[in-house]
Amino acid sequence: MDSTQYAGAGFVDPAAYQPPAIEAVSAPPVEGEPVSRVDLPSGGWAELADPRKIRAKHRKRVMDQLNLERMQSGKGGIALDMTDGLIIMMVEKWHIPYLPGVSRPLDDPDSTGELTIPDYDRLTDELEPAREMIFPSPATVDGANKPGSPTRPAGA
């Protein structure tokens, strides 16, 4: 597909895509000692902050990481923006063997884009409790579709 075909189909030409710039912030996003250490598939590790210490100000920080232009255009990538915001907020320390000397994500937000897919996915999985704190699943009237709910779906 050339760039005119992408535009005609409502897509952005992948060669023309520019990810949003993410600015570093100076203070630790979630205060306190790391509570878990995650071993990454690459042999590296990451120490994560306690998701129970997340406050409203942290939700605002993650929301600030979202690319509003992309949201308004209906293009994909919002989930990755949220994941990057969570990684930046929750990773206190890390060691990535294929990125020697890389700073923690808070100090080098672009470093999240240099992670291998398996390492990125592992962090994404481990950050699920933090994601649930910031973006809770909507409540349902009958509790259906929630794991462990004794209520069966209405049509069942």
- Convert the pLDDT of each residue in 110-148 to its tens digit: 899 999 999 999 999 998 888 887 777 776 666 556 666
In this structure, are residues 46 and 122 in contact, taking their beta carbons and an 8 Å threshold? Answer: no
pLDDT, greater one: 13 or 103: 103
The residue ranges of every structural domain in the chain are 29-133
What does the alpha-carbon distance between residue 60 and residue 65 come to, in Å, rounded to a whole number? Answer: 9
pLDDT, greater one: 39 or 33: 39
Question: Cα-flanking dihedrals φ and ψ of residue 91, to 5°?
Answer: -85, 115
pTM of the model: 0.62
Split at pLDDT 50, 70, 90, the class of 16 is low
Report the range of poorest mean pLDDT among 20-24, 31-35, 55-59, 125-129: 20-24
Cβ-Cβ contacts under 8 Å for 34 (sequence gap 6 or more): 47, 48, 49, 50, 92, 93
Rounded to 10°, the helix 56-65/78-90 angle is 130
